[in-house]
């Protein structure tokens, strides 16, 4: 058995890592056995590792901290634990032993069939944390995530998409939850997993390879929707929901009215599986509901369904109730508070969110920075910054009122007031994960078929990270902002805002301000003040002026020849004023350069001023006696 020596004080060219398993754990050292078949020459499969070289990943103590390494006794492995031993690539000396400890927990959220969250058991939360992100790729052999409530085993690993976070890796399903009530409460995930609940069996691996989740949803939606007609005039959605739920859980639904008028109302609903929809058609057609004999058919082939439309009054009541069976209550990173957003107009096209964040951080915590773009990915010319406190937003508007960014004077406005005055029925949804598509966003926002959802994509088909949602009215849009802003979707707090821009007003305000500041100086008192300033002006050198560089005062342009002294320029007037102060009476001319430098902090550069000698300079100033 080889005793591993920890490499110290040497420059590493990158360690070589090998899988291992703990065979014995002691107070000061652990014994491992490498299970890799390819080891460097002279390296034994069994080696003893000092406990000081042992470590494991643990979640951060705070949201702003990176994942931490826990070492020593706290990371000591138990017999049978998997490990990864790191050896120096050149010397084969030990650089560390990572313990890959397995933890137990349960799935507590599942926004889609491919992402969710695990809640580790209480006794391991000091290491594994309260919640961990889970992706389908970490569940070997699965075509969709297990339902909420399923017991799982996992270990911690760095999230390859966010190096500052850990996620659950190599997840093993120990016990899959089969509670129908739980399935009904997790409607979004149930809907996206319909492919595995069809009568013809789960999709083949080949089908999964060639179809996206969105395509699978579209293919199964028609098989899961039912159309209910011949309803009583007084029937409510609550009655329809209870009636249809008797054969299986619903994901969403709504009441319909006859476009042509005069006919009885109808309803449309979507089940969690096509099988439940088929059962409803067989069992519920001809049943009595509120005194009427109703007809239930699959929505895709329902005769006369085109005559019906959504009932406006009911759809305006709320988002998800009573016309839409809502998913579980959304988790808010922070609740929405009006008055904390600042609209930043006249943004230069080359500016980004980081520059805005840096400007606003001095006033308080910044929650969101959005720089909206068009569908083509071009900046729209404004940004929106949301701060954690109303006072911080007010202070930022005052403190940044005269800020110029890349030669663009910024225009700051209260974004809450702007939305209240000009907000329409279109919402801008930002900070979306790259995996979020229109259907997933629709389910998260509990919109059902009420709204139009657009997720712009690049030429390669990759989502740009934002969406537009069109609702029935401006009030509905404002209500949805208050309800769903900052809710968590695939690990990110999403940003909701009524899509308002005042680009033309911003440009007009800037141009008006520029025009007022560019008025010519015709007032005699202003000219007197300007001359007084010239008399006491600081040296020109600190302002960037030097020999061979055009001055802001001198009219001549750059040339290979030295500048020619011109007594009609403002530069000469300022120089003459300095000489008048410096040489009030007869003095030794040779001492003037030193006096000038001591007084004005700059060397007297005669050639740069257009004079060949000091005598020529002094002769040009009438008030100086030679």
Question: Distance between CA 209 and CA 203 in Å, rounded?
Answer: 10
H, E, C per residue of 164-177: EEEEEEEEEEEECC
- As a whole-number percent, the residues of the chain with pLDDT over 90 amount to 15
pLDDT of residue 9: 42
pLDDT in tens, 557-567: 333 344 555 66
Q: Which of 227-231, 458-462, 494-498 has the lowest mean pLDDT?
A: 458-462
User: Integer distance in angstroms from the first to the last C-alpha of the chain?
Assistant: 99
Q: How confident is the model at residue 582 (pLDDT cuts 50, 70, 90)?
A: confident
Q: Is the pLDDT of residue 397 over 90?
A: yes
Whole-number pLDDT of residue 531: 58
- Angstrom distance (rounded) from CA 612 to CA 564: 9
Separation of alpha carbons 163 and 180, rounded Å: 37
Q: Output the six-digit token pair for 98.
A: 């990572």
What angle, 0 to 180 degrees and rounded to 10, lies between the N-to-C axes of helices 570-582 and 592-600?
A: 110
**What is the C-alpha separation between 195 and 246, in angstroms, rounded?**
22
The region of weakest confidence among 235-239, 384-388, 610-614 is 610-614
Instruction: Scan for tokens 């071009």, then name that residue.
Output: 378
pLDDT digits (tens, 9 = 90+) for 404-437: 998 899 999 999 989 988 888 899 999 998 888 8
pLDDT at position 414 is 93
Q: Are 456 and 378 in contact (CB under 8 A)?
A: no
Average of pLDDT values for 289-294? 83
Q: What tens digit of pLDDT does each residue of 518-529 get? A: 555 455 556 555
**Which of 482-485's residues contact partners 24+ apart within 8 Å by CB, and which partners?**
482/336, 483/319, 484/319, 484/330, 484/444, 484/445, 484/446, 485/336
Higher-confidence residue of 589 and 340: namely: 340
Kindly report the average pLDDT of the chain as a whole number: 75
Mean pLDDT of 222-245: 83
Kindly state the helix (H) or strand (E) to which residue 99 belongs, with its residue range: strand 94-100
Q: Do residues 577 and 622 touch, judged by C-beta distance below 8 A?
A: no
User: pLDDT confidence of 143, banded at 50, 70, 90?
Assistant: confident
Enter the tokens of residue 494: 């999403």
Higher-pLDDT residue of 285 and 62 is 285
Residue among 364, 359, 407, 365 nearest 383 (CA): 359
Q: CA torsion angle for 107, 109, 113, 115 (degrees, to 10)?
A: -90
| pLDDT at residue 11, as a whole number | 42
Strand partners for 463: 457
More confident residue, 13 or 455: 455
Look at residue 602 and tell me whether its pLDDT is greater than 50.
yes
pTM, full prediction: 0.37
Reported confidence tier of residue 192, pLDDT bands at 50, 70, 90: very low
Handedness of CA 272, 427, 425, 454 (dihedral sign): negative
List residues bridging with 84 in a β-sheet: 19, 98
What is the distance, to the nearest Å, from the Cα of residue 245 to the centroid of all Cα atoms in its chain?
38
Domains of the chain by start residue, with CATH: 2-100 (2.40.50), 103-178 (2.40.50.140), 215-315 (3.30.70.330), 341-503 (3.30.70.330), 525-619 (no CATH)
pLDDT at residue 434, as a whole number: 82
Which has the minimum average pLDDT: 37-41, 106-110, 448-452, 613-617? Answer: 448-452
Nearest to 408 by CA among 428, 383, 391, 386: 383
Which residue from 221, 219, 201, 215 is spatially nearest to 298, judged by alpha carbons?
221
Of the pLDDT bands very low, low, confident and very high (cuts 50, 70, 90), residue 187 is very low
Task: Give CA–CA dist 498/121, Å, rounded.
Answer: 41
The residue-averaged pLDDT of 378-393 equals: 92
Q: What one-character DSSP code corresponds to residue 67?
A: P
Q: How far apart are CA 237 and CA 108, in angstroms?
A: 29
Res. 322 pLDDT band, cuts 50 70 90: very low
Burial of 418 (0-12, 13-18, 19+ CB in 10 A): buried
* Separation between Cα atoms, residue 356 and residue 361, nearest integer Å: 9
Q: Which residue has the tokens 């109302």?
A: 265
Residue 532: pLDDT above 80?
Answer: no
pLDDT of residue 528: 56
**Listed ranges 215-224, 361-370, 569-578; the one with the highest mean pLDDT:** 361-370
Which alpha helices (H) appear in 20-166, and where do they start and end?
125-128
User: Mutual orientation of helices 274-284 and 237-244 as an angle, nearest 10°?
Assistant: 100
pLDDT at residue 201, rounded to an integer: 43
The secondary element (H helix, E strand) that includes residue 181 is helix 180-185
Count how many Cα atoms sit within 13 Å of the Cα of residue 447 in the half-sphere of its side chain. Answer: 26
DSSP of 452-490: EEE--B-TTS-B-S-EEEE-S-HHHHHHHHHHHTTBEET
Q: For 97-119, how does the pLDDT look when each residue is reduced to its tens digit (9 = 90+)? A: 999 988 889 999 998 888 999 99
Place of tokens 């699965």: 142
Confidence of residue 507 (pLDDT cuts 50, 70, 90): confident
């Amino acid at each position: 058995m080889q005793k591993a020596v920890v490499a110290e004080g040497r420059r590493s060219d990158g360690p070589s890592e090998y899988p291992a398993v703990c065979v014995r754990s002691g107070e000061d050292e652990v014994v491992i056995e490498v299970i890799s078949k390819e080891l460097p020459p002279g390296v034994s499969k069994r080696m003893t590792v000092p406990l000081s070289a042992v470590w494991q990943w643990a979640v951060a103590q705070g949201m702003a901290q990176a994942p931490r390494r826990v070492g020593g006794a706290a990371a000591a492995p138990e017999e049978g634990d998997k490990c990864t031993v790191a050896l120096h690539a050149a010397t084969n000396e030990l650089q560390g032993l990572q313990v890959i400890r397995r933890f137990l927990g349960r799935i507590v959220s599942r926004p889609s069939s491919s992402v969710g969250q695990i809640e580790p058991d209480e006794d391991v939360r000091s290491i594994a944390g309260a919640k961990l992100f889970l992706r389908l790729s970490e569940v070997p052999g699965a075509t969709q995530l297990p339902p909420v409530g399923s017991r799982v085993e996992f270990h911690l690993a760095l999230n390859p998409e966010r190096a500052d976070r850990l996620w659950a890796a190599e997840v093993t399903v120990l016990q899959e939850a089969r509670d129908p009530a739980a399935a009904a409460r997790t409607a979004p995930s149930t809907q996206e997993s319909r492919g595995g609940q069809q009568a013809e069996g789960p999709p083949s691996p080949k089908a999964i390879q060639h179809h996206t989740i969105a395509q699978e949803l579209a293919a199964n939606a028609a098989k899961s929707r039912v159309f209910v007609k011949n309803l009583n005039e007084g029937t409510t959605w609550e009655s329809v929901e209870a009636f249809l739920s008797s054969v299986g859980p619903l994901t969403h639904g709504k009441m319909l009215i006859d476009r042509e008028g005069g006919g009885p109302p109808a309803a449309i609903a979507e089940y969690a599986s096509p099988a439940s929809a088929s059962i409803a058609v067989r069992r519920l057609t001809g049943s009595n509901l509120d005194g009427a004999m109703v007809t239930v058919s699959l929505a895709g082939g329902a005769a006369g369904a085109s005559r019906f439309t959504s009932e406006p009054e009911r759809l305006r009541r709320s988002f998800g109730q009573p016309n839409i069976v809502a998913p579980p209550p959304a988790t808010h990173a922070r609740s929405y508070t009006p008055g904390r957003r600042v609209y930043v107009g006249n943004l230069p096209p080359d500016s980004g969110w980081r520059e805005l964040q840096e400007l606003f951080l001095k006033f308080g915590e910044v929650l969101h920075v959005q720089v909206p773009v068009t569908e083509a990915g071009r900046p729209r010319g404004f940004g929106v910054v949301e701060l954690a406190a109303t006072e911080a937003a007010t202070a930022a508007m005052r403190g940044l009122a005269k800020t110029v960014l890349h030669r663009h004077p910024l225009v700051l406005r209260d974004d809450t007031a702007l939305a209240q005055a000009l907000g329409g029925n279109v919402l801008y949804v930002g900070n979306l994960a790259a995996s979020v598509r229109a259907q997933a966003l629709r389910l998260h926002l509990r919109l059902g078929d009420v709204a139009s959802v657009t997720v712009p994509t690049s030429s390669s088909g990759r989502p740009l990270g934002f969406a537009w949602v069109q609702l029935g009215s401006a009030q509905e849009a404002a209500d949805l902002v208050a309800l769903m802003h900052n809710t968590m979707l695939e690990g990110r707090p999403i940003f909701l805002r009524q899509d308002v821009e005042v680009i033309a007003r911003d440009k007009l305000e800037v141009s008006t301000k520029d025009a007022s500041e560019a008025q010519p100086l015709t007032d005699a008192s202003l000219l007197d003040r300007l001359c007084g300033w010239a008399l006491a002006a600081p040296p020109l050198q600190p302002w960037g002026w030097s020999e061979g560089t055009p001055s802001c005062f001198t009219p001549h342009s750059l040339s290979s020849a030295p500048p020619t002294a011109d007594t009609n320029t403002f530069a000469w007037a300022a120089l003459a004023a300095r000489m008048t102060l410096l040489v009030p009476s007869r003095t030794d001319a040779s001492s003037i350069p030193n006096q000038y430098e001591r007084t004005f902090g700059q060397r007297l550069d005669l050639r740069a001023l257009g004079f060949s000698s000091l005598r020529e300079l002094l002769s040009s100033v009438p008030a100086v006696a030679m």
